[in-house]
Amino acid sequence: MIQGKAWIVVLVTLIVGFGAGFVLRPVIMPARQAVAIAPAPPPAEPRAVEFFAAHLDEARQIVAGCQAGSVRGGECANAEQAVTEAEGKDRFRRFTGK
């Protein structure tokens, strides 16, 4: 007689569990909705040293961002090279008095 009651308890538990799973599934994990997402644009090429040589203020901002860790990539090296060359030319002009 105990086995009969155990089977009834097991069946009732399974039915309640599956029923609760079907009822709560949309609440626990909603079905994915179709969302149209545009693909990410391809990464732009880093600006050249010549660009930064012509725009030294922006180059200095990029170098500061690179040192702070907020800017990464090829622009760091190009901006740093442009700033270094501009400072070198300025030092040379001051040294020669021209």
Q: Is 88 within the bounds of a domain?
A: yes
Q: Is 21 within the bounds of a domain?
A: no
Q: Is 25 within the bounds of a domain?
A: no
pLDDT of res. 78: 92
Q: Is 2 within the bounds of a domain?
A: no
pLDDT of res. 29: 67
Q: Is 79 within the bounds of a domain?
A: yes
Domain extent for 64: 49-96
Residue-wise pLDDT for 7-54, tens only, equals 888 888 989 888 887 777 776 666 666 556 667 666 678 889 999 999
pLDDT of res. 46: 86
**Pick from 57, 38, 49: which is nearest to 75 by CA?**
49
Q: Is 59 within the bounds of a domain?
A: yes
Number of domains the chain contains:
1
Render 77-90 in DSSP notation, one character per residue: HHHHHHHHHHHHHH
pLDDT of res. 33: 61
For the segment 59-84, the average pLDDT, to the nearest whole number, is 90
**Pick from 67, 61, 60: which is nearest to 85 by CA?**
60
pLDDT of res. 17: 86
pLDDT of res. 31: 65
Q: Is 65 within the bounds of a domain?
A: yes
Q: Is 7 within the bounds of a domain?
A: no
- How far is it, in rounded angstroms, from Cα 44 to Cα 93? 35
